[in-house]
Amino acid sequence: MRNRGGWIALALAAVAAVSLAHAEDALALKDLDGAERHPLELAKGQKAAVVIFITVDCPVANGYAPEIKRLCEACGKQGIAFYLVHVDPDVTVESAKKHAQEFGYACPVLMDPKHALVKRLKAKVTPEAFVVGAEGQTLYRGRIDDRNVGFTQQRTEATTKDLREALDAVAAGKAVPTPETKAVGCFIQSLEERKP
């Protein structure tokens, strides 16, 4: 590809075009091994990417660990990328690794200390879930299910599985029936200085 100028020019043009179409492509976050990942850039054949924002200490997010693991596995089979993203700027890679090990997360865990992805997707709480399509469009945003009603109020059991329904629709190539729900959890603190 690189041995002929024409090809290079063509490739650059193609990249530029893709970048314009997918502004998200530029967004890179490091995973727990320090490798750069592009969570909004879909690999060939992938239908969508799931991003769930977490912290090591949000009890609401942690409570979903078993469901998150099942979703991650299901996504692998459905051709959907899956990422967990830490939003706490103070969390160290070491504590994120320990957390992933404790909760048994096998999916990629990314660090977003500068809130690049938080701001891009306008995430508000942990664990808020996003399903992003090939064109960078948000196909679903909101809760994993409706178990949490308020910050300290829970249903005995969830009555809807909103994220699962969204993913099933995406996998089947259909429109997501409820593209937006309200996620309940721990607020993601803005990193902007708020002057009095």
Q: Is 88 in the site for another protein (CB under 8 A)?
A: yes
Of 154, 164, 171, 179, the one binding another protein (CB under 8 A) is: 154
DSSP string for residues in 56-115: SS-HHHHHTHHHHHHHHHHHHHHTEEEEEEE--TT--HHHHHHHHHHHT--S-EEE-TT-
Of these, 4, 159, 173, 174, which contacts another protein (CB under 8 A)?
159
Binds another protein (CB under 8 A): choice among 53, 82, 83, 103 = 103
The correct pick among 9, 13, 33, 57 for binding another protein (CB under 8 A) is 57
Q: Read off the DSSP letter of residue 180.
A: B
Angle at 62 between CA 91 and CA 142, to 5 degrees: 95
Contact residue for another protein among 65, 81, 176, 183 (CB under 8 A): 65
Spatial distance between the Cα atoms of 122 and 113, rounded to a whole number of angstroms: 15
Distance in Å, CB of 161 to another protein, minimum? 14
- The residues binding another protein (CB under 8 A) are 57-59, 62-67, 88-90, 102-104, 149-157, 159, 186-187, 189, 193-196
